[in-house]
A and B are shown apart, each in its own frame.
Chain A
Amino acid sequence: MHDKVIARLRRQIAAVLILKHALLWLAAWAFMWGTFVIVWRVATGVAAAELWLGLAAAPLLTIFAAGLALRGVPSRARLRAVVDGASGCGGLLMAAAETPLGPWRKSLPDPARLQVTWRGGQAWLAFLAGIAFLLVALLFPQSLVTLAGAAPLDITQETQQLAAQLDVLKQEAVLDPQRADFLKDRLKQLKEDASGTSPVKTLEALDHLRDIATKAAKQAAEAAVAKTEKLGQAEGLAEGIRKNDGELEPKLQKQAMAALAALVQQAAGETDLVNQHLDPELLKRLQGARLTAEQLQKLAEALKASKLDLTKMVEKLRAAKLIDIELLFKCNAAGACDCDGMLAKATGKTKSTKGGRGGVTEGGGSSPITWSHDTKEDSTKFKEETLPPGALAKLRESTLVGVGQANPDGDKQRDPSQGGALTKAPAGGGSANAQTILPRHQPTVERFFARPKTKQD
């Protein structure tokens, strides 16, 4: 009977130890495997079904844990000693394993009812926590994993804007269609490859494409300004000749026509003037031949139409935010028609004594100042400038150390006076001294420089 009790006790201890070891080992494995699953899913962005195969390790691990546990099960001799002590056998039960008890067997007391008590709360808690962690790792939605991981960089808005700009450049023949398509393909690829893990590269590439577009647009706009100027000159001359038809000497008329022909020829070579607006016959007649007033008017209209086309192109570039509004204004100003001035320049004479042509060889001589139009207000208005990136960054990083009552030191802010009265002045006027003032002073200075309104305004 005692042997049965000992055997049963041993089995119970073995079962408890196996369960304890299995729970702890499975808990450890669940945490490890769960961590691996999470890292795998975040890194690859794939919730592979193969990750569930890790569960197949559970039975193997249980067997391993059972093997370890069985090594800790006490021997029969030790359990016999426990039963001997608990039952009050006084060593008889232990002696029974080494020597026959003989008549003493009858005096062996009944074995004590021993049971194995295991405070397994912590082991169960660890196991359940491990399983819960593993299940969460396996079942967590992949979209949320990806969102939390390597999210793509959203540059849709920027790419759409840039694509529209490239379309405009393509339509206005600023960029070759092939070049424009190539850049659009690159933009598309950039959008697909944009990733939250390396935004710098993506944004740098985007900036590079944007620079290409804006540079091309700026070059086109500046070329348009130059062409518009020439067209304006040709138009002015044509109008001047037409207005003074019959009043000019034949020699001067011829001279003027030759100058007109040269200007128109040049313009025809640079723009689509001939193709779109000017009759080729008219151009032929222009070469050295006299044109009638009607023909001169047609010519002027064609030149004006070409000027308008260029202005429209520049307006489109401006609307696509490829160029500043300044260039648009420049273009508009460049096309201003100065009929009398151009005629005078072409013939070397004017209707009245109006001074010399100027220049190195023909300069000098007093000549009255020719006013063709009032100085435009635009140049005196405050030019809004965007701060250069360096200054802006400096401003952002700067800290306010105090606020003073005194005005800012004007000397530091004063830009040096430019050489030449009107160097870098915009077309139609400008100021030699560019003074940077604070925004709060703008209204005051504007009022100071405000022109009284004239009857014409």
Chain B
Amino acid sequence: MQNHQPADTLLQPDQLKPAVALAQQLLGQLDRLLLGQADLHRLVLVGIMSRGHVLLEGVPGVGKTALVKGLAQLLGLDFKRVQFTPDLMPSDILGTHILQESANGSREMSFRSGPIFTNILLADEINRASPKTQSALLEAMQERCVTLLGTTRPLPGPFFVLASQNPIELEGTYPLPEAQLDRFLFKLNVPGAEVEVLDRIIATRRRGEPPAPTWRMSAAELDQLFAAMERIFLPRPVARYIARLVAATHPPAKEAPEPVKKYVAYGASPRAAIALAEACRGQALLAGRPTAGFDDVKTVAAPVLNHRLILNYKARLDQVTAAALVSKLLASLDETGLNLPEDVTLTEAKA
């Protein structure tokens, strides 16, 4: 287990700049490989830098698999893909013990590792597999290790699960349980391409194949990036804001707005607060700042919280989405917690 030391001193500019440059370069390459998804690429990179798992949801053909493959190529990490089907078994992912005959003729059980033993695992259409198979990823995603037959085997570092799911074909699918959803740092919606983007794709790519990357990140550079992430400073007021934000997703909370009280059955867990803290650091790094601010939290709040709110039947009846609730929450909650009376406000003086 890594020893995470809190950042009590700021990253110096000369230390931050290279990391920012690396991140920007990576982003640039991603944008080059996959057209028209700059915001998505940014968030995915933030997720990677935050060492979190990402769930991509989008209709077929928007480039979810291509994104993950491209990312793996750019990061220079080992990549494996698992197509989740209804008949997929946990051993198909984690590995299994097989009886093998050794050279001397004796037979012994040897462990054949599954595709999960990789850096980036693409769990394609994760909602097609049975809950038994889905739950096989729980320990791996959280602990980054696999326990089989009493033996715990660590997964290679860094380890990311980038899963995809199709929101329209729901027949024969198994929605991910809340426990598993909670383990994904982000749930990102992959939108379809706009006309200009489609035009460029058609014009510049045969069969839609992305070009080969012109640059790859080395392992050292990746470590540098992660090291810089470790030093991004989270000020106490921002940490306080994150805590208040997550607490306000629970209906009984004092600061929970009316829509949350009305439509939310269960709010986000403490894992969401940790995810927010890490993600806003990644966002700050991408912005070239050594510290995370309130705006960084607001940028990553929706991807972190959208899939963590469990709504009640009223929300279904009124067709209220978690994204709408998170927006209202961000708009209603004062970042600094000034608690000034309603008739006293701070405004920017006109020049």
Bound-state Cα–Cα, A116 to B345, Å: 6
- Give every chain A residue within 8 A of B337 (Cβ-Cβ): 78
Q: A91-B284, A100-B9 are in contact. Are A81 and B336 (CB under 8 A)?
A: yes
Nearest CB on A from B19, distance (A): 15
Residue A90 interfacial (CB < 8 Å): yes
In the complex, identify which listed stretch (A101-109, A161-169, A400-408) lies at the interface while the others stay far away: A101-109
Q: In chain A between 335 and 382, which residues have their CB closer than 8 angstroms to a CB of chain B?
A: none
| Residue pair A114, B348 in contact (C-beta under 8 Å) | yes
Residue A99 interfacial (CB < 8 Å): yes
Closest Cβ neighbor of A101 among chain B residues = B10
| Residue pair B346, A94 in contact (C-beta under 8 Å) | no
| Residue pair A120, B291 in contact (C-beta under 8 Å) | no
- Give every chain A residue within 8 A of B237 (Cβ-Cβ): 77-78, 80-81, 84, 94
Q: A16-B344, A104-B10 are in contact. Are A91 and B238 (CB under 8 A)?
A: yes
Nearest CB on A from B343, distance (A): 4
Q: In chain A between 100 and 150, which residues have their CB closer than 8 angstroms to a CB of chain B?
A: 100-104, 107, 112-120, 122-123
Bound-state Cα–Cα, A119 to B10, Å: 41
Q: In chain B between 328 and 351, which residues have their CB closer than 8 angstroms to a CB of chain A?
A: 335-341, 343-349, 351
- Give every chain B residue within 8 A of A90 (Cβ-Cβ): 284, 287, 289, 291-293, 295-296
Residue B235 interfacial (CB < 8 Å): yes
- Give every chain B residue within 8 A of A122 (Cβ-Cβ): 343
Nearest CB on A from B62, distance (A): 32
Closest Cβ neighbor of A77 among chain B residues = B237
Count contacts between A and B, CB distance < 8 Å: 124
- Give every chain A residue within 8 A of B344 (Cβ-Cβ): 13, 16-17, 20, 116-118
| Residue pair A91, B292 in contact (C-beta under 8 Å) | yes
| Residue pair A114, B347 in contact (C-beta under 8 Å) | yes
| Residue pair A104, B13 in contact (C-beta under 8 Å) | yes
Nearest CB on A from B210, distance (A): 33
Residue A153 interfacial (CB < 8 Å): no
Closest Cβ neighbor of B9 among chain A residues = A99
| Residue pair A85, B347 in contact (C-beta under 8 Å) | no
1/0 per position for A1-27, CB-CB distance to B under 8 A? Answer: 000000001000100110010000000
Residue A95 interfacial (CB < 8 Å): yes
| Residue pair A102, B10 in contact (C-beta under 8 Å) | yes
A79, A84, A103, A120: the one contacting B293 at CB < 8 Å is A84
| Residue pair A82, B295 in contact (C-beta under 8 Å) | no
Q: A103-B12, A104-B13, A114-B347 are in contact. Are A94 and B295 (CB under 8 A)?
A: no
Bound-state Cα–Cα, A97 to B341, Å: 26
1/0 per position for B281-292, CB-CB distance to A under 8 A? Answer: 000100101111
Closest Cβ neighbor of B337 among chain A residues = A78
Q: A82-B338, A103-B13 are in contact. Are A117 and B347 (CB under 8 A)?
A: yes
Residue B186 interfacial (CB < 8 Å): no
| Residue pair A74, B340 in contact (C-beta under 8 Å) | yes
Closest Cβ neighbor of B338 among chain A residues = A74
1/0 per position for B272-304, CB-CB distance to A under 8 A? Answer: 000000000000100101111111100000000
Q: A74-B339, A78-B337, A99-B233 are in contact. Are A115 and B8 (CB under 8 A)?
A: no
Residue B236 interfacial (CB < 8 Å): yes
B291, B336, B340, B347: the one contacting A115 at CB < 8 Å is B347
Bound-state Cα–Cα, A99 to B238, Å: 15
Bound-state Cα–Cα, A90 to B285, Å: 11
A16, A20, A92, A102: the one contacting B291 at CB < 8 Å is A92
Interface-centre pick from A13, A99, A118 (highest chain B CB count, 10 A):
A99
- Give every chain A residue within 8 A of B284 (Cβ-Cβ): 90-91
Q: A102-B10, A104-B13 are in contact. Are A117 and B346 (CB under 8 A)?
A: yes
Bound-state Cα–Cα, A85 to B337, Å: 13
Q: A81-B335, A94-B291 are in contact. Are A117 and B345 (CB under 8 A)?
A: yes
Q: A81-B335, A90-B289 are in contact. Are A98 and B236 (CB under 8 A)?
A: yes
Bound-state Cα–Cα, A119 to B345, Å: 9
Bound-state Cα–Cα, A235 to B264, Å: 121
Q: In chain B between 230 and 255, which residues have their CB closer than 8 angstroms to a CB of chain A?
A: 233-238
- Give every chain B residue within 8 A of A212 (Cβ-Cβ): none
Bound-state Cα–Cα, A107 to B284, Å: 15
| Residue pair B235, A94 in contact (C-beta under 8 Å) | yes
B9, B291, B336, B338: the one contacting A91 at CB < 8 Å is B291
Residue A72 interfacial (CB < 8 Å): yes
- Give every chain A residue within 8 A of B292 (Cβ-Cβ): 90-91
Nearest CB on A from B285, distance (A): 11
Closest Cβ neighbor of B233 among chain A residues = A95
1/0 per position for B9-47, CB-CB distance to A under 8 A? Answer: 110110000000000000000000000000000000000
1/0 per position for B55-72, CB-CB distance to A under 8 A? Answer: 000000000000000000
Bound-state Cα–Cα, A119 to B342, Å: 9
Closest Cβ neighbor of A107 among chain B residues = B13
| Residue pair B296, A91 in contact (C-beta under 8 Å) | yes
Bound-state Cα–Cα, A113 to B349, Å: 5
A17, A20, A95, A113: the one contacting B348 at CB < 8 Å is A113
- Give every chain A residue within 8 A of B287 (Cβ-Cβ): 90
Residue A151 interfacial (CB < 8 Å): no
Interface-centre pick from B10, B238, B337, B348 (highest chain A CB count, 10 A):
B10
Closest Cβ neighbor of B280 among chain A residues = A91
Bound-state Cα–Cα, A115 to B348, Å: 6
| Residue pair A85, B346 in contact (C-beta under 8 Å) | no
Q: A78-B237, A82-B336, A90-B291 are in contact. Are A95 and B10 (CB under 8 A)?
A: yes
Closest Cβ neighbor of B341 among chain A residues = A20
Closest Cβ neighbor of A119 among chain B residues = B343
B9, B290, B294: the one contacting A81 at CB < 8 Å is B294
Residue A226 interfacial (CB < 8 Å): no
Residue A205 interfacial (CB < 8 Å): no
| Residue pair B236, A91 in contact (C-beta under 8 Å) | no
Bound-state Cα–Cα, A89 to B340, Å: 22
1/0 per position for A60-79, CB-CB distance to B under 8 A? Answer: 00000000000010100111
- Give every chain A residue within 8 A of B13 (Cβ-Cβ): 103-104, 107
Q: A82-B336, A91-B293 are in contact. Are A114 and B341 (CB under 8 A)?
A: no
1/0 per position for A163-178, CB-CB distance to B under 8 A? Answer: 0000000000000000
Residue A86 interfacial (CB < 8 Å): yes
Bound-state Cα–Cα, A92 to B293, Å: 8
- Give every chain A residue within 8 A of B351 (Cβ-Cβ): 113
Q: A91-B289, A91-B296 are in contact. Are A102 and B345 (CB under 8 A)?
A: no
Bound-state Cα–Cα, A84 to B293, Å: 8
Can you pick out 17 interface pairs between chain A and chain B where the beta carbons lie within 8 Å of each other? A13-B340, A16-B344, A72-B341, A80-B237, A81-B237, A82-B346, A90-B293, A90-B295, A90-B296, A91-B293, A102-B12, A104-B10, A104-B13, A112-B348, A114-B346, A115-B347, A122-B343
Having A92-B289, A102-B10, one finds 17 other A-B pairs with CB under 8 Å, namely A20-B343, A72-B341, A81-B237, A81-B336, A90-B296, A91-B234, A91-B292, A91-B294, A91-B296, A94-B291, A95-B290, A101-B10, A103-B12, A103-B13, A112-B348, A115-B349, A120-B343
Q: Give B contacts to A, CB under 8 Å.
A: 8-10, 12-13, 233-238, 284, 287, 289-296, 335-341, 343-349, 351
